[in-house]
Amino acid sequence: MKLVYSFLFCGLICLIGQMILDNTKLTPGHITSLFVVVGAFLDIFHIYDSIIKVVGGGAQLPITSFGHSLVHGALSNTSEHGVIGLFMGMFDLTATGIVAVILFAFFFTLICKPKD
């Protein structure tokens, strides 16, 4: 059942993005930044967590999940360390994505030639 929910949820997010792209003058850069902020906003009252519990992988793939993980990592460290936990835990959960992007991009750039 989670497969169907994943299909619907991820498709819906992409549909909203495409509608914003077509009907306004915003570029894809604006839209991805906007979606990250929306994801961060949805997590402050743990709404996105309950979405992930129901939907599964379909909710972790879109870029909204990036903002969600930033807030989630920051907030989970505040219970131990206070305000400074916001600084310490910000990249706890998103580090995987960023490290993977940097590593793969660097090595593939060294191997491949740019095509135009």
- Interface residues with another protein (CB under 8 A) are 2-3, 6-15, 17-19, 21-23, 28-29, 31-33, 35-37, 40-41, 43-45, 56-58, 60-63, 65-67, 70-71, 74-76, 78-79, 83, 86, 90, 96-98, 100-102, 104-106, 108-109, 111-115
Q: What is the CA radius of gyration of the chain?
A: 17
Q: In angstroms, what is the minimal distance from the CB of 51 to another protein?
A: 12
Q: In angstroms, what is the minimal distance from the CB of 50 to another protein?
A: 15
Q: In angstroms, what is the minimal distance from the CB of 95 to another protein?
A: 10
Nearest to 9 by CA among 47, 55, 41: 55
Supply the DSSP symbol for 114: P
Residue type, 24: T
| Nearer residue to another protein within complex by CB, 8 or 50 | 8
Cα separation of 92 and 76, whole Å?
10
Cα separation of 26 and 28, whole Å?
7
